[in-house]
Chain A
Amino acid sequence: MAKKLSTSSRKTKSVPAQAAAEPAPEALVWRRKDLLGLDELSPAEITHILDTAETFKEVSTRSIKKVPALRGKVVALMFFEDSTRTRMSFELAASRLSADTLLFTSKGSSVTKGETTLDTARNVAAMGVDIFVIRHGQSGAPHLLASNLQASVVNAGDGSHEHPTQGLLDIFTMRQRLGGIEGLKVALVGDIAHSRVARSNILGLTKLGAQVTVVGPPTLVPAAIASMGCTVCTSLDEVLGEVDVINMLRIQFERFGGGLFPSLREYSRLYGMNGQRLKRCKKDVLIMHPGPINRGVEITSDVADGPNSCILQQVTNGLAIRMAVLYLVSQGNE
């Protein structure tokens, strides 16, 4: 990969002229065809995506919110699993880059007739698609496509593996609100075992120098997660006063069906974020949630809608991150 990029650099050579003001002195040349996860990215590459997103963020403030960066390109949004914000965010991001979009949802599709993921993608690819954005319930599904298709593949969430753009937008939001990532203390709370958001957060944050603690009941926190560079804690109350960011994760009932903790009532009591707990946190602690929120379970409304929360800001930033990712993988595949 190319030269290292400083975290403070916000403009790069690879950003389109319409969005960039001036090139950074040490621009990283993006060479990746796909974005499958933060695991494969260097700190410089993560920073490069964040910096590119900074420039795209400005596009959304214009009266005509569009740049021609992907004009003539086709982005296929392949959603084999339900999604609202990620799908709409990618669709709008592609649209703001002037790409044509194809939307695929598995409901009512050839998949219900027994067609495999790869065959479905091969058929869509034959229509001249440049970028596949794939959301899938199976970990590794984007890797299967990436190794079999010429087109770029962007992982929009695969099973319990990674959700790289969510991780990036979370990190982007932390950097925006707190000024930097290095040295930050971040708690990820809840269903770590089944959370792709947790993995992308752990990987991205630790690469950029943050200290990550995962918190949850032992049945939802695999012991081996510590091998990813985070610390493990089973008590939310123990970490409250120490951390700068608390990222509350959704319980992924659809992945395990139940039985991993005694009741929602107990879970909420032990691991839910509420006003009482917020009082014991640092005053400017940042409260995050990737959504969709189970209000009253993972987080109470007073916290979710309060001044420490940046939940809607995360959604806004997601658009810029996804514009940056689509733009970069397109460049990397040329």
Chain B
Amino acid sequence: MNDILIRNGRVIDPANGLDEVTDVAITAGKIVRVGPCRAAAKQIIDADGQIVAPGLIDLHVHCREPGHEEEETIASAAGAAVAGGFTTVLAMPNTHPPADDERAINYVLQRAGEADLARVLPVGCITKDRAGKELAEMGMMAAAGAVAFSDDGDGVASSLVMQRALQYAGNLGIPLMQHCQDPELMAGVMNSGPVAVRLGLGGIAASGEQIMLRRDLELVARTQGAYHVQHISTSGSANLLRAAKADGLAVSGEVTCHHLLLTDAACAGYDSKYKVSPPLRTASDVEALRRAVADGTIDCLATDHAPHSKEEKELEFGLAPFGIIALDCALGLFIKALVETGLCDWPTLIERMTAGPARVIGRPLGTLATGALADVTIIDPAANWTVDTNTFVSLSRNCPYHGWKLTGRATTTIVGGKVKYRLVDK
């Protein structure tokens, strides 16, 4: 007898080129059959009119634990993840202290195991203490379970350190994830341009992102390391990534829902909820990024879920921290930016949220293939709902999408063959 039988859903598994109405059977935490199934099951989920997809993966989440548990914990982030349809999230290492050794990696895995919700996979720092000077103990962190390395929050400014990191991590078969921003060119607090000038706020130029990306691509070509550019925000960066892929480099990239939906004009009222790093750019950047997702230049959709307390965000725009949360509502936002605009069909959207990110970290996730881990997200594509941050599982509320009307949301999230979230239960 199967543990779970999901019946009559539109099963979309981009990793296997599958898009048909059928059944999915789960037993002992694994997918045992995708196809018509009459066998009995302990639990039957009627997915008529819904999409059955591999579990969504978010490569970019800040869990804030250890250090700022009042903003988020590994458990609350994992809860927000399953509520948003994500079965796997990557925990960024810019915690306090930073996750730059195997003990920190073990801590993340232990806390994630205790939470037993979404899979929370640890990312280790590229450099010790995220200081950009000396390589962190990548080998031991990889052995402990780190799936990638990043100094997220800051880019690795030193070309020499970055070159060594690419060589070292490449040898381990682990990707480097880079927050591309030249530190000397990011003295501002929002996108450099007419809006910043009018508001009297310091600008962060698009070139600050592109200069570091351009440099890194040169280093990738020399070292053959695996490289992933985080939260791409400019059309120029998308063009650089496109050209690098055409040259055959092992590079990938992600974009956030913010950079697909919002522009720097949103900062006009000095509302710090719109302060994010990299900053919100222009309408033409948004358009270029959407097209880069559609044509496959950008491999993954990510949230850069960055919780902050109300007190921190209630400061002057220039003093408030960067960051927006979106785990709870991201799927609807991506649907709005990409499916409703006609740029992506459902299989493409799901590919960028499942197989695409799984490919980046080289893990056997993001597929409904027989024998795969039973991570499944069931989506009601027609569900009309309004974002209400008061209902978020995340501990923070720094979300500018409160009140947005969205269509499409996760109704069921299954992790390792166990139902971790059902919308009807609410």
Q: Name A residues whose Cβ lies closer than 8 Å to a Cβ of B.
A: 39, 116-118, 136, 138-141, 143-144, 147, 158-162, 196, 199, 222, 224-225, 227-228
Among listed B47-55, B143-151, B190-198, interface-contacting one: B190-198
Among listed B129-137, B310-318, B406-414, interface-contacting one: B310-318
- Of B193, B202, B269, the contact of A143 (CB 8 Å cutoff): B269
Chain B residues near A116 (CB-CB < 8 A): 311, 314-315
Chain B residues near A39 (CB-CB < 8 A): 198
Residue of A nearest to B187 (CB): A256
Cα-based distance from A55 to B162 in the complex (angstroms): 66
Chain B residues near A227 (CB-CB < 8 A): 194, 197-198
Cα-based distance from A136 to B193 in the complex (angstroms): 23
Chain A residues near B194 (CB-CB < 8 A): 224, 227-228
Chain B residues near A118 (CB-CB < 8 A): 314-315
Cα-based distance from A139 to B320 in the complex (angstroms): 12
Residue of A nearest to B316 (CB): A138
- Answer yes or no: B249 CB below 8 A from chain A CBs: no
Is the pair A140, B318 in contact by a Cβ cutoff of 8 Å? Answer: yes
Is the pair A144, B316 in contact by a Cβ cutoff of 8 Å? Answer: yes
Is the pair B201, A160 in contact by a Cβ cutoff of 8 Å? Answer: yes
Cα-based distance from A144 to B201 in the complex (angstroms): 15
- Of A143, A196, A228, the contact of B270 (CB 8 Å cutoff): A143
Instruction: Give chain B's interface residue range (CB within 8 Å of chain A).
Output: 20 to 34
- Answer yes or no: B1 CB below 8 A from chain A CBs: no
- Of A140, A196, A228, the contact of B317 (CB 8 Å cutoff): A140
Is the pair B198, A199 in contact by a Cβ cutoff of 8 Å? Answer: yes
Is the pair B319, A138 in contact by a Cβ cutoff of 8 Å? Answer: yes
- Answer yes or no: B423 CB below 8 A from chain A CBs: no
Cα-based distance from A146 to B269 in the complex (angstroms): 11
Nearest Cβ distance between residue A240 and chain B, in whole angstroms?
25
Is the pair A159, B200 in contact by a Cβ cutoff of 8 Å? Answer: yes
- Contact residues of B: prevailing secondary structure: loop
Chain B residues near A139 (CB-CB < 8 A): 199-201, 270, 316-318
Nearest Cβ distance between residue A190 and chain B, in whole angstroms?
16
Is the pair B314, A199 in contact by a Cβ cutoff of 8 Å? Answer: no
Is the pair B199, A140 in contact by a Cβ cutoff of 8 Å? Answer: yes
- Of B197, B269, B311, B318, the contact of A159 (CB 8 Å cutoff): B318
Is the pair A162, B193 in contact by a Cβ cutoff of 8 Å? Answer: no
The 9 closest A-B CB pairs, nearest first, are: A161-B200, A140-B270, A160-B200, A138-B316, A227-B194, A139-B200, A224-B194, A224-B197, A143-B270
Cα-based distance from A196 to B199 in the complex (angstroms): 9
Known: A118-B314, A138-B316. A144 touches B270 (CB 8 A): yes
Chain A residues near B200 (CB-CB < 8 A): 139-140, 158-162, 196, 199
Cα-based distance from A118 to B315 in the complex (angstroms): 7
Chain A residues near B318 (CB-CB < 8 A): 138-140, 159
Tell me the residues in window 253-280 of chain B with beta carbons closer than 8 Å to chain A beta carbons.
Answer: 269-270
Residue of B nearest to A138 (CB): B316
Cα-based distance from A118 to B270 in the complex (angstroms): 14
Besides A140-B270, A159-B318, 9 other A-B contacts (C-beta < 8 A): A118-B315, A139-B199, A139-B270, A140-B318, A144-B316, A147-B269, A159-B200, A222-B197, A227-B194
Tell me the residues in window 318-349 of chain B with beta carbons closer than 8 Å to chain A beta carbons.
Answer: 318-319
Residue of A nearest to B192 (CB): A224
Nearest Cβ distance between residue B183 and chain A, in whole angstroms?
16
- Of A136, A140, A228, the contact of B201 (CB 8 Å cutoff): A140
Q: Can you list 10 pairs linking A and B with CB atoms under 8 Å apart?
A: A116-B314, A138-B316, A138-B317, A140-B317, A143-B270, A144-B315, A159-B318, A161-B200, A196-B200, A222-B197
Nearest Cβ distance between residue B102 and chain A, in whole angstroms?
36
Residue with the highest number of chain A CB atoms closer than 10 Å, among B194, B199, B200, B270: B200
Cα-based distance from A160 to B318 in the complex (angstroms): 11
Cα-based distance from A222 to B311 in the complex (angstroms): 33
Known: A138-B319, A143-B269, A144-B270. A228 touches B314 (CB 8 A): no
Cα-based distance from A116 to B272 in the complex (angstroms): 15
Chain A residues near B319 (CB-CB < 8 A): 138
Cα-based distance from A139 to B194 in the complex (angstroms): 15
Residue of A nearest to B201 (CB): A139
Chain A residues near B197 (CB-CB < 8 A): 222, 224-225, 227-228
Residue of A nearest to B269 (CB): A143
Nearest Cβ distance between residue B252 and chain A, in whole angstroms?
33
Is the pair A140, B193 in contact by a Cβ cutoff of 8 Å? Answer: no
Is the pair A224, B317 in contact by a Cβ cutoff of 8 Å? Answer: no
Nearest Cβ distance between residue B42 and chain A, in whole angstroms?
53
Cα-based distance from A202 to B199 in the complex (angstroms): 13
Cα-based distance from A155 to B350 in the complex (angstroms): 49
Tell me the residues in window 171-212 of chain B with beta carbons closer than 8 Å to chain A beta carbons.
Answer: 192-194, 196-203
Chain A residues near B317 (CB-CB < 8 A): 138-140, 144
Cα-based distance from A224 to B202 in the complex (angstroms): 12
Cα-based distance from A210 to B286 in the complex (angstroms): 35
Nearest Cβ distance between residue A79 and chain B, in whole angstroms?
15
Nearest Cβ distance between residue A115 and chain B, in whole angstroms?
11
Residue with the highest number of chain B CB atoms closer than 10 Å, among A136, A224, A225: A224
Residue of A nearest to B314 (CB): A118
Chain A residues near B199 (CB-CB < 8 A): 139-140, 161
Cα-based distance from A288 to B315 in the complex (angstroms): 35
Chain A residues near B202 (CB-CB < 8 A): 160
Chain B residues near A136 (CB-CB < 8 A): 316
Residue of A nearest to B311 (CB): A116
Nearest Cβ distance between residue A136 and chain B, in whole angstroms?
7
Residue with the highest number of chain B CB atoms closer than 10 Å, among A117, A138, A222: A138
Cα-based distance from A225 to B202 in the complex (angstroms): 13
Cα-based distance from A162 to B201 in the complex (angstroms): 11
Nearest Cβ distance between residue A120 and chain B, in whole angstroms?
12
Cα-based distance from A140 to B318 in the complex (angstroms): 8
Nearest Cβ distance between residue A187 and chain B, in whole angstroms?
18
Residue of A nearest to B312 (CB): A116
Nearest Cβ distance between residue B186 and chain A, in whole angstroms?
15
Residue of A nearest to B318 (CB): A138
Residue of B nearest to A36 (CB): B270
Cα-based distance from A138 to B270 in the complex (angstroms): 11
Cα-based distance from A11 to B224 in the complex (angstroms): 76
Nearest Cβ distance between residue B184 and chain A, in whole angstroms?
11
Cα-based distance from A141 to B272 in the complex (angstroms): 11
Tell me the residues in window 285-331 of chain B with beta carbons closer than 8 Å to chain A beta carbons.
Answer: 311, 314-319
Nearest Cβ distance between residue B187 and chain A, in whole angstroms?
9
Chain A residues near B201 (CB-CB < 8 A): 139-140, 159-161
Cα-based distance from A39 to B195 in the complex (angstroms): 12
Chain B residues near A196 (CB-CB < 8 A): 200
Nearest Cβ distance between residue A193 and chain B, in whole angstroms?
8
Is the pair A140, B198 in contact by a Cβ cutoff of 8 Å? Answer: no
Known: A136-B316, A138-B319. A224 touches B270 (CB 8 A): no
